[in-house]
């Protein structure tokens, strides 16, 4: 049987030279989409609507062989490579100008072994895909808190989520990965096979290859959990945050929390009189028995009579998608972020004093409580840095297309980060944007981890083929990382 060959046509300049007008990727079975294709604008669009890039070619793969063919084709034609998994990274590195997008969005398969508590997940899957399949067996692993986040980008950057304090980060539950390297070879990375690559994949982002499949460890979770937000008025932000600081000091690992300083979205579950009201919100998810969760949350729920308390039993898979409508595809997003040490009073004053000065009602500041199982993994055991930090904080600017908030929200995010300057302690690499200062990638890992990542990069991608990311250049362990691109896929 003859293997089908896909042929498409384009005539575009790249790196000052004209590329062949007829593209033939031998053995490619997926779809090739160029600027003349009716689906081109839809195919190049990603979650962050502020990103408007025009690749020469989008290679929508349907299997690992397609990925191999696309990588080799890109190298043969000296094309810039962007890797798209879920397309959810704020910096927009899932799409590039002029080059080729290796698009895994059609590869969304999930297979679960309930007896062995394992899941195999393709590189284009979203966390909603994983949750639906694993929760059918009462199982889960740490994933994103928005269901349309891509598995690949979140995992490769570390992977924070509701379950991390009990079960560790996504990378702490990664058992193996199938990778297509820069020379188009297929490798399996695990503790036993290519362990140096496996170490680097667990936090090092998309620097080392295209991951076509992940194998995760699963845990009993749900299917019903105690979860939901508790809201107080913005004027109480400082006092709520001080109480929260003391509350989490002895919180069980099963309790995951996120604090948001935000404007109440107009969701149907929220009384209309609270819509668009500035609030401080503590979202909670208890990964254990409901009755234990009720006991753990009782002090928080009793503090200062909240405006609204929506914490209660609900399906885990439903809770995982509860925030989806507040961060829609196609809105404009701009982020700044850092890790924070312990919540001292002066730090609390800075956060409460700056969080509500945004202009867009869709912008917010969010703090993700780390510690627990996250901090019990030794620094350097994986490539995820700054495990001893107390919180990961993100200053999240968002505005809809056509709204005139861009300049003001960008200035606000930068201003909040500047105000946090004395308290900064590293940064979660998946929260980095596309215009970061040189050295922030190194800051995300710390010197020793960054230097080791640079050495692994030298082994698996010495020509820095995969550089459209939060880039770690090969063999530059004594220098400052580049930033040819940024963010997760």
Does residue 306 or residue 438 have the better pLDDT?
306
Integer-rounded Cα radius of gyration of the chain:
22
Given 431, 448, 466, which residue is the final one in a domain? 431
Three-state SS at 29:
coil
Q: What pLDDT digit, counting tens, does each position of 88-132 carry?
A: 999 999 999 999 999 999 999 999 999 999 999 999 999 999 999
Say how many domains are in the chain. 2
The predicted structure's pLDDT at residue 475: 87
Domain-embedded: residue 21:
yes
Does residue 483 or residue 365 have the better pLDDT?
365
Summarize the confidence of residues 312-335 as an average pLDDT: 97
Q: Which residues contact 211 (CB under 8 A, 6 or more apart)?
A: 123, 152, 156, 177, 178, 179, 201
Domain-embedded: residue 114:
no
The predicted structure's pLDDT at residue 23: 65
Among candidate residues 111, 133, 112, 108, the one with its CA nearest the CA of residue 123 = 108
The predicted structure's pLDDT at residue 24: 78
pLDDT at residue 432 tops 60: yes
Q: What pLDDT digit, counting tens, does each position of 257-312 carry?
A: 999 999 999 999 999 999 999 999 999 999 999 999 999 999 999 999 999 999 99
Domain-embedded: residue 193:
no
Domain-embedded: residue 122:
no
Q: Give the domain range for residue 55.
A: 6-103
Q: What pLDDT digit, counting tens, does each position of 61-86 carry?
A: 999 999 999 999 999 999 999 999 99
pLDDT at residue 488 tops 60: no
pLDDT band at 13 (very low <50, low <70, confident <90, very high): very low
Summarize the confidence of residues 12-18 as an average pLDDT: 40
The predicted structure's pLDDT at residue 425: 87
Q: How far apart are CA 431 and CA 433, in angstroms?
A: 6
Domain-embedded: residue 13:
yes
The enclosing domain of 305 has a CATH number of 3.40.462.20
Given 431, 450, 470, which residue is the final one in a domain? 431
Q: What pLDDT digit, counting tens, does each position of 208-233 carry?
A: 999 999 999 999 999 999 999 999 99
Q: How far apart are CA 77 and CA 359, in angstroms?
A: 45
Does residue 481 or residue 30 have the better pLDDT?
30
Any idea which residue has 């819509």 for tokens? 275
Strand 22-25, strand 6-9: pairing: antiparallel
Q: How far is CA 65 from CA 31, 56, 180, 186, 224, in A?
A: 13, 21, 9, 9, 39
Q: What pLDDT digit, counting tens, does each position of 135-178 carry?
A: 999 999 999 999 999 999 999 999 999 999 999 999 999 999 99
Given 431, 455, 477, which residue is the final one in a domain? 431
pLDDT band at 7 (very low <50, low <70, confident <90, very high): very low
The enclosing domain of 68 has a CATH number of 3.30.43.10
Among candidate residues 15, 124, 3, 2, the one with its CA nearest the CA of residue 59 = 124
**Mean pLDDT computed over every residue of the chain:** 93
Domain-embedded: residue 32:
yes
Can you read off the two tokens belonging to residue 211?
């991951």
- Total-model pTM: 0.93
Domain-embedded: residue 95:
yes
Summarize the confidence of residues 339-352 as an average pLDDT: 96
Strand 118-122, strand 210-217: pairing: antiparallel
Domain-embedded: residue 345:
yes
pLDDT at residue 314 tops 90: yes
pLDDT band at 22 (very low <50, low <70, confident <90, very high): very low
* In the chain, % of residues over pLDDT 90: 90
SS (H, E, C) the chain: CCCCCEEEECCCEECCEECCCEEEECCCCCEEEECCCCCHHHHHCCCCCCCCCCCCEEEECCCHHHHHHHHHHHHHCCCCEEEECCCCCCCCCCCCCCCEEEECCCCCCEEEECCCCEEEEECCCEHHHHHHHHHCCCEECCCCCCCCCEHHHHHHCCCCCCCHHHHCCCHHHEEEEEEECCCCCEEEEECCCCHHHHHHHCCCHHHCCEEEEEEEECEECCCEEEEEEEEEEHHHHHHHHHHHHHHHHCCCCCEEEEEEEEECCCCCCCCHHHCCCEEEEEEEEECCCHHHHHHHHHHHHHCCCCCEECCEEEEHHHHCCCCHHHCCCCCEEEEEEEEECCCCHHHHHHHHHHCCCCCCCCCEEEEEECCCHHHHCCCCCCCCCCCCCCEEEEEEEEECCCCCCHHHHHHHHHHHHHHCHHHCCCCCHHHCCCCCCCCHHHHHHCHHHHHHHHHHHHHHCCCCCCCCCECCCCCCCCCCCCCCECCCC
Can you read off the two tokens belonging to residue 426?
């590293």
């Amino acid at each position: 049987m003859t293997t089908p060959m896909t042929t498409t046509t384009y005539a575009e300049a790249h790196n000052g030279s004209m590329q062949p007008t007829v593209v033939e990727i031998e053995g490619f079975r997926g779809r090739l989409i160029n600027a003349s294709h009716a689906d081109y604008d839809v195919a190049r669009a990603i979650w962050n609507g502020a990103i408007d890039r025009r690749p020469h070619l989008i290679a929508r793969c349907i299997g690992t062989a397609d990925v191999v063919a696309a990588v080799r084709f890109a190298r043969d034609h000296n094309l810039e490579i962007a890797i798209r998994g879920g397309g959810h990274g704020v910096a927009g590195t899932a799409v590039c100008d002029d080059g080729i997008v290796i698009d895994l969005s059609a590869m969304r398969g999930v297979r679960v072994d309930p007896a062995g508590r394992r899941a195999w997940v393709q590189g284009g899957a979203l966390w909603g895909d994983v949750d639906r399949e694993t929760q059918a067996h009462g199982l889960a692993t740490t994933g994103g808190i928005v269901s349309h986040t891509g598995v690949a980008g979140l995992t490769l950057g570390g992977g924070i989520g509701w379950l991390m304090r009990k079960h560790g980060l996504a990378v702490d539950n990664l058992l193996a990965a199938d990778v297509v390297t820069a020379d188009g070879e297929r490798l399996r990375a695990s503790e036993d096979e290519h362990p140096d690559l496996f170490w680097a994949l667990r936090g090092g982002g998309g620097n080392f290859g295209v991951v076509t499949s992940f194998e995760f460890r699963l845990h009993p979770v749900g299917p019903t959990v105690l979860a939901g937000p508790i809201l107080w008025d913005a004027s109480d932000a400082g006092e709520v945050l001080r109480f929260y600081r003391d509350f989490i000091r002895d919180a069980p690992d099963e309790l995951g929390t996120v604090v948001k300083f935000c404007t109440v979205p107009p969701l149907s579950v929220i009384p209309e009189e609270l819509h668009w009201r500035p609030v401080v919100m503590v979202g909670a998810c208890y990964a254990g028995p409901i009755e234990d969760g009720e006991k753990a949350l009782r002090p928080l729920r009793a503090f200062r009579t909240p405006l609204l308390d929506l914490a209660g039993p609900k399906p885990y898979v439903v809770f995982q998608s509860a925030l989806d409508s507040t961060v829609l595809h196609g809105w404009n997003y701009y982020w700044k972020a850092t890790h924070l040490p312990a919540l001292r009073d002066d730090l609390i004053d800075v956060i409460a004093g700056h969080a509500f000065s945004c202009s867009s009602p869709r912008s917010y500041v969010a703090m993700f409580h780390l510690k627990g199982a996250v901090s019990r993994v030794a620094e350097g055991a994986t490539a995820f840095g700054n495990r001893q930090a107390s919180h990961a904080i993100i200053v999240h600017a968002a505005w809809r297309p056509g709204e005139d908030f861009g300049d003001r929200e960008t200035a606000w995010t930068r201003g909040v980060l500047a105000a946090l300057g004395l308290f900064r302690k590293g940064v979660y690499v998946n929260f980095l944007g596309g215009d970061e200062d040189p050295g922030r990638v190194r800051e995300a890992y710390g010197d020793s981890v960054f230097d080791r990542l640079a050495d692994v990069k030298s082994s698996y991608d010495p020509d820095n083929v995969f550089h459209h990311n939060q880039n770690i250049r090969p063999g530059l362990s004594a220098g400052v990382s580049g930033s040819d691109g940024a963010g997760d896929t």
